[in-house]
Amino acid sequence: MHDNASETTTNLKRPRPPSFRVRTNQLIAAIAACAVSIAPLRAADIRGDMENGVVLEGKIEAGDYDKLRSAYGEKRTNQFYIGMPLANEIYLASPGGDLAEAMKIGRFVRALKLHTVVPGGPYPVGHYEKYSDADRHQLINPKADYMCASACFFIFVAGITRTAEVDLDPRLGIHRPYLSDTDLRALTGDQAITSANRVKTTIENYLKEMNVPGKYVDLMFAVPKDKIRWLEKADVADLEGTIPELRDWLAAQCDKRTDVEKAVWEKLMADTRPIGQHSTAERSIFDKMIKEMSVMHNCESKALDKLSGSAWLQMFDPTCTAIAPEARALAENRTLCTRKN
């Protein structure tokens, strides 16, 4: 991870990456983001449902929050899949856009307790392309959208779990928000300072609301407005996975290991030897611990699915008091919930 401005610059990999621009109205009545790239950008395409997962692709613009809310709120399509795998996953493939809209979407994502997923690694080329997550999610314009950069970052951090699609560096980019030249020409020097400070405060408050470490504000504002820093896996180790607020709760729900078993697991994970060099006894212990960890992770997934399902019911169908486990079978007769009197 690079800590200073000069080192950060060495990690800026694109000549004219997506970027976001803050515009002012009475100093800063609204915050927005404008993506800048070589290729023209379009409004976000929001597609999918809770059975297959939702994809948000392209430039984020005003109105995308309403489109996303409609996608999740469609009862006839979605109410039969709450609490099921993929029902709480949103895949983000966006070079940025309207920052105010991204924050609005981010708060919606957190309220629904969704899982945010971003592209991972460099965009695959050649015959490997058909196996990529770009292909799995049927991206319309993977060359422009195979990333989550700029304003998209603010949606990513809103997930209750956050991850890259593949186990590589996430295609996650950040940089400094900025006032347009047009806006700056309309301001005095003092007004420009006030506006910039308010923008930074707004961003700090949002990231604090999402329990994102303060270092990301510093990283963001260290990157020039016309550059982008692509975060590496090591950079986002404290962002990936389940949010800290839920980790202890999940452990209480699902981690049935003894203190000795936890210590054994940590020792196994610290062992750098290939599995073939382990003794028969060590492999037996390893296999046993893997089974226990699998049970624990399965329990955690179900707990998070139920949490997201309950959030969906509260937001879109508050009269429903039960999630039917046989949702697919019930799809034909359109009965799902036990209704309140």
Asked, for residue 341, whether it belongs to a domain, the answer is: no
pTM score of the predicted model: 0.81
pLDDT at 180 (0 to 100): 75
Q: Are strands 115-118 and 53-57 parallel, antiparallel or unpaired?
A: unpaired
Which tokens belong to 9? 């610059």
For residues 84 and 149, membership in a common domain is answered with: yes
* Cβ neighbour number for residue 153 with a 10 Å cutoff: 28
For residues 146 and 238, membership in a common domain is answered with: yes
Number of domains making up the chain = 2
Asked, for residue 337, whether it belongs to a domain, the answer is: no
Report the side by side order of strands in the sheet with 161-164.
45-49, 53-57, 89-93, 115-118, 161-164, 241-242
pLDDT at 24 (0 to 100): 37
For residues 210 and 278, membership in a common domain is answered with: no
**Ranges of H-type helices in the chain:** 5-10, 64-73, 75-78, 99-111, 133-136, 142-145, 152-156, 181-185, 189-209, 215-221, 244-254, 259-270, 280-316, 327-330
pLDDT at 61 (0 to 100): 94
Give which of 124, 119, 66 is closest to 91, Cα–Cα.
119
pLDDT digits (tens, 9 = 90+) for 241-257: 999 999 999 999 999 99
Give which of 305, 254, 317, 338 is closest to 86, Cα–Cα.
305
pLDDT at 21 (0 to 100): 41
> Which of 186, 214, 242 is where one domain is finished?
242
For residues 224 and 234, membership in a common domain is answered with: yes
Asked, for residue 336, whether it belongs to a domain, the answer is: no
For residues 153 and 281, membership in a common domain is answered with: no
Q: Are strands 148-149 and 172-174 parallel, antiparallel or unpaired?
A: parallel
For residues 288 and 152, membership in a common domain is answered with: no
Asked, for residue 67, whether it belongs to a domain, the answer is: yes
pLDDT at 132 (0 to 100): 67
* Measured distance CA(144)–CA(43) in Å, rounded: 12
For residues 102 and 122, membership in a common domain is answered with: yes
Q: What letters, b where the CB count within 10 A reaches 16 and e where it falls short, cover 190-222?
A: eebeebbebbbebbeebbeebebeeebbebbbb
Asked, for residue 159, whether it belongs to a domain, the answer is: yes
Instruction: Say if residues 146 and 165 touch (Cβ distance below 8 Å).
Output: no
pLDDT at 78 (0 to 100): 79
For residues 190 and 258, membership in a common domain is answered with: no
* Measured distance CA(9)–CA(2) in Å, rounded: 9
196: containing domain? 5-242
pLDDT at 29 (0 to 100): 37
Asked, for residue 339, whether it belongs to a domain, the answer is: no
Residues in the chain: 341
- Residues paired with 89 in a beta bridge: 115
For residues 254 and 234, membership in a common domain is answered with: no
For residues 58 and 147, membership in a common domain is answered with: yes
Type of residue at 144 = A
Asked, for residue 24, whether it belongs to a domain, the answer is: yes
CB neighbour class for 51 (10 Å; exposed up to 12, middle 13-18, buried from 19): middle
The ranges of the chain with pLDDT < 70 are 1-42, 123-132, 321-341
Q: H or E segment at 218?
A: helix 215-221
For residues 185 and 295, membership in a common domain is answered with: no
> Which of 242, 261, 284 is where one domain is finished?
242
For residues 73 and 209, membership in a common domain is answered with: yes
* Measured distance CA(73)–CA(323) in Å, rounded: 16
Asked, for residue 175, whether it belongs to a domain, the answer is: yes
pLDDT at 157 (0 to 100): 97
Query: Which residues have a Cβ under 8 Å from the Cβ of 300 and sit 6 or more positions away?
Result: 242, 250, 253, 254
> Which of 195, 211, 242 is where one domain is finished?
242
| Angstrom distances, CA of residue 254 to CA of 86, 248, 263 | 21, 10, 17
